[in-house]
A and B are shown apart, each in its own frame.
Chain A
Amino acid sequence: MTRILKYRVRVMLLAGLFAAAFTLTTAFAPVAQAQSKDPIKIGFSMALTGALAGGGKQSLVAMQIWAEDINEQGGILGRSVELVFYDDQTNPKNVPGIYSKLLDVDKVDFVVSGYGTNLIAPAMPVVIDRDIVFMGLFGMNNNGKWNYEKYFQILPAGPSPAVGFSSNWFEAVKTFKPKTIALVAADAEFARNLKEGAVENAKAMGLEIVYNENYPPRTADFTPIVRAVNAKKPDIFYIASYPNGSAGLVRAIAEVGTDAMAVGGGMVGLQYAGLMSGLGPNLNGFLNYDFYVPEPTMNIYPGSKELIDRYQKKVKDEGLKTDALGYYLVPWAYAYVDILGKAVNAVGKIDHDAIAEYIHKTKFTTVVGDVEFGDNGEWTQSRTIAVQYQGIKNNELDQFSQPGTRKIMFPADIQTGEVKPFNSLR
C-alpha cells in the first residue's frame, strides 16, 4: 500500500514536473521569440525646446517619417525600428546625462546625435567611451580634436568643415573684389568654429580683417555692434550667428545700415519659416549659407522634394507646431538615420566595428544625393550653397516656398542668380 502510494506520488510528481516544464517552455517560447523580434532602438537627444528647437522639431518629424518608411520596408535586420528620444532643451549640460540614460537604462542599440554642434560636442566623450557608431546631424568640426573613427557627420561642409562651410560664400563675394572684412560670431562652439574657418578663407583671399569679435547669446540690442563694424568700413561683413542673434542683426542692420557689399555668411535661423516670414523684406540683400532651397536647380537631390512635400503635408494634416516648410533640415535628418539603417542591414548584425568600417568604405545614395565619408567622418566634398535673399516683398510665408526669394549664387553649376551688392537690394 505504502509502496503503491509512493509510486503514485512519484508518478504525480513526474507528471507535475512535465506539466510545469511544458507550461514554462510554452509560456517562455513567445517571449524568446518576441525578444528576437524586439525593436531596434535608436536613441538620441533633440532640441525640442530652447533656441534651436526650430531646427530640432523638424529633424524629429523627418526621423519619424524615416522610421515609418523603414518599418514599412521590414525594419532593420528584420526588426522594427523604435526611436527613443529626450528633449535636451538646447542645453549642452543636459546631453551627457541623456546619452548615459539611453545607453544604460533604455539599452538602445544605437545612438545618433541631436541637432547642432553645441549639442553634439558634449555627447562625444560618452559615445567614444562606449566605442560605438555615432551619426552626427549638422555638427561643425565636432570630430576635429577627437579623430574618432566611428563618427560620421551629415553636415555637407567637406573634409575640413570649418573652412568648407564658408568657402562657397567667399567664392560668391569675389565678384566684389573685396579688400577688407569684418567678422562677428555668437559666443558658442558652432559659431566660433565657423568664424575660425571664415578667417582662414579670408586670409587665403588676402583680405585684411578689420573687425573680429564674438557677442554673448543674450544680447538684446545689436546696433552698437553694427556701428562698431561700420566704423571700420569693411568691404564685406561675415556673420556667424544663432537664431536670436541672426534676427537681431538683421533688424539692427536695417535700422543702422551698412556700406558693406556683402553681409551674412553663417547666420543660422534665417532658414526657419518663422524667422523668414517675420523678417520679410528686411532679409533682402543678405548673402547666407544654406543646404536646400526651392530653386529649380536643386533637382540634384532626387527624392528630397517628395520628402519635403510629405513633411509639409504631415505638419499641416496633424497640426504639428513646427517649421511649416522644413527645407533646412528635413532631408538631412532623414538621411543620417537612413545611412545608419542601410549600413546595419548591409552588415547583417549589430557589430559597431563592422558597421563603422562599412560606412567608411561605402558611397550611400540618399535623399541628399550620394554621400561618402572621409577618415574623420566628414563629407568628402562640400555641398554648402551660398544664397542671396532677393525680391522679398512682404511677410507672407508662401513666397519662400517658391523659387526666386533665395537664389543660389554658388556653386556655379547650380547657380540661379547673380550676386548683387547688399544695398542695391534694399
Chain B
Amino acid sequence: MIILELFINALIAGILLGGFFAALSIGLSICFGLLDTVNIAHPTFIVAAAFCTFILNANFGIDPILAGIIITPLFFGLGWVIYSLYYQFFEKTSAEALRGLAFFFGLLFITEVVLIISFGVDHRLVNAAYIGKSFGGEFAGISVSVPFRLLSAFVVAAILTLGLQMFLDRSFFGRATRAVHQDMMALSLMGVDPVAIKRIAFAIGLGTCGIAGALMIIVIPIEPAVGRLFIGNVFAIVVLGGLGSISGTLIAAMILGIAESMVSTFFGPSWAPAVSFTILLGVLAFRPTGLLGVGDTR
C-alpha cells in the first residue's frame, strides 16, 4: 500500500512539475523551435520577470500570478525590441548562426549583471496564501497531498500552453508563424512580411517569460544566476517535444517531470538528471525530430 501511495503521489508531483517545466520552456519553443533563434538568454529573462514579480508582490502586495500577467506586456515589448536588433545586426546579414548565439550570450550576461546591480545577490521569495500549503486527504486508504504552489504553476502553465497552441493553430498569425518556420520565401511571395511575423512571434515567446517568471518565484527561491540551472532542461524539453511543436513541448515537459519525480521517489534523486537525459537521447535515437516534431520541411 505504501508503494502505491508513493507511486500516486510521485505521479501527481511529476505532472505538476512537468507543468512548471512547460511554462519555462514554452517561450523557447516558439523562439528556438519555430523561429530558429537560439535564445540562450531565455531562462535569464524568466529570472528577470521573477524579480519584477518580487517587486510587485513585496511592495504592493500583488498576487504573484497576477503580477506575472501584469508584466507580460513589458516582456512582449522587450522581445519586440530584441528581435528588431537581432534582425538588423545579425539575421539580415545572414550572420545569425554564431554571432547571433554570441548576441544572446551577451544578453544573458548583461541581464544578470543588471539584476545583480539592481537587486543584489540575495535569494528572494514571494508570499501568497497558497504557498507552503497543500490540500489532500485519504482515498481508499491512500493518502494524497497536492502542494498548492505546484498546482497553481501547473494550472497556469496548462492554460498558457493550450492557449498558445490554439492561437498558433487557428489564427492567421499562427499559421503565418508556422509558414515562416517552413518556407520564408514562399510566405514572402504570398505578400506577407516574414520579418514582421517573426518579430511578433519572438515577442510572444519572450512575453511568456512574464508568466513563467511569476511561476518560477512561486516554486523556487531566485537569485540573478538561477536561470543557468535551467538552460539544459528547457532546451532538452524543446528538442524532446519536437522543434516547433507547442503540444510536444508540454508532453516532453510532463515526461521529464514524471521521470524526475519517480526516480527521486524510488531510486534516489541523484539519478534524476541522468534518467531525464537518457530519455532525451533514447527518443532522439528513434525519432530524431522529437516526439511531435515534423522535421525541417525547407
Contacts and interface: CB of A to CB of B under 8 A. Distances in A.
Interface of A: 48-51, 53-54, 56-57, 89-90, 187, 213-221, 223-225, 227-228, 231, 243-244, 247-248, 251-252, 254-257, 269, 272-275, 278-280, 282, 320-323, 395
A256 B112 contact: no
Given A213-B269, A247-B125, 17 more contacts: A49-B121, A53-B121, A214-B269, A218-B232, A219-B272, A220-B21, A223-B13, A224-B260, A224-B265, A231-B6, A244-B220, A244-B229, A251-B132, A252-B147, A269-B123, A321-B120, A323-B122
B107 interface: no
A215 B264 contact: yes
Contacts of A272: 122-123
Nearest to A247: B221
Contacts of B230: 218
Interface string B122-144: 11111100011110000000000
Nearest to A50: B225
Contact of A224 (B13, B118, B219, B226): B13
B97 to A, nearest CB: 26
Contact of A54 (B14, B20, B122, B132): B122
Interface in B104-123: 112, 116-123
Contacts of A322: 120-122
Given A220-B17, A223-B150, A215 B270 contact: yes
Nearest to A184: B269
Contact of B123 (A90, A228, A243, A256): A243
A57 B132 contact: no
Contacts of B221: 243-244, 247-248, 274-275, 278
A323 B16 CA distance: 33
Contacts of B20: 220-221
20 contacts: A53-B223, A90-B225, A213-B270, A215-B269, A219-B269, A219-B272, A221-B20, A223-B150, A224-B9, A224-B262, A225-B265, A225-B269, A228-B6, A243-B223, A255-B134, A255-B147, A256-B147, A272-B122, A278-B127, A278-B221
Nearest to A395: B127
User: 9 shortest A-B CB distances, which residue pairs?
Assistant: A321-B120, A278-B125, A53-B121, A274-B122, A215-B269, A255-B147, A224-B264, A218-B229, A255-B134
A223 to B, nearest CB: 5
Interface in B73-117: 112, 116-117
B242 interface: no
B112 to A, nearest CB: 7
A253 B198 CA distance: 44
B200 interface: no
A120 B116 CA distance: 23
If over half of B's interface residues share one DSSP class (helix, strand or loop), that class is named, otherwise mixed; here it is: helix
B268 A214 contact: yes
Most buried by B among A49, A187, A224, A247: A224
Contacts of B6: 227-228, 231
Interface of B: 2, 6, 9-10, 13-14, 16-17, 20-21, 112, 116-127, 131-134, 145, 147-150, 219-221, 223-226, 229-230, 232-233, 260-262, 264-266, 268-270, 272-273
A308 B172 CA distance: 62
A76 B122 CA distance: 33
Contacts of B260: 221, 224
Contacts of A254: 132-133
Contacts of A257: 145
A195 B134 CA distance: 29
B215 to A, nearest CB: 11
Contacts of B261: 221, 224
A168 B117 CA distance: 39
B127 A49 contact: no
Given A213-B268, A218-B230, A255 B121 contact: no
Contacts of A274: 122-125, 221
A225 B230 CA distance: 20
Most buried by A among B20, B21, B261: B261
Given A248-B220, A278-B221, A279-B125, A227 B9 contact: yes
A273 B10 CA distance: 33
A53 B228 CA distance: 15
A57 B120 contact: yes
Contact of B127 (A187, A228, A280): A280
Most buried by B among A213, A214, A218, A273: A218
B214 to A, nearest CB: 15
A140 B34 CA distance: 48
Nearest to A243: B123
A395 B132 CA distance: 13
B263 to A, nearest CB: 9
A282 B132 contact: yes
A321 B13 contact: no
A324 to B, nearest CB: 8
A221 B150 contact: yes
Contacts of B145: 255-257
A51 B47 CA distance: 14
A224 B10 contact: yes
A321 B51 CA distance: 14
A217 B269 CA distance: 10
Contacts of B147: 223, 251-252, 255-256
A89 B230 CA distance: 16
A41 B254 CA distance: 53
B278 to A, nearest CB: 14
B149 to A, nearest CB: 7
A245 to B, nearest CB: 10
Nearest to B228: A50
A321 B121 contact: yes
A225 B263 CA distance: 10
Nearest to A219: B269
Nearest to B221: A247
Contacts of A252: 147
Contacts of A217: 229
Given A215-B269, A221-B261, A255 B123 contact: no
Nearest to A232: B2
B43 to A, nearest CB: 11
B149 A49 contact: no
A419 B230 CA distance: 39
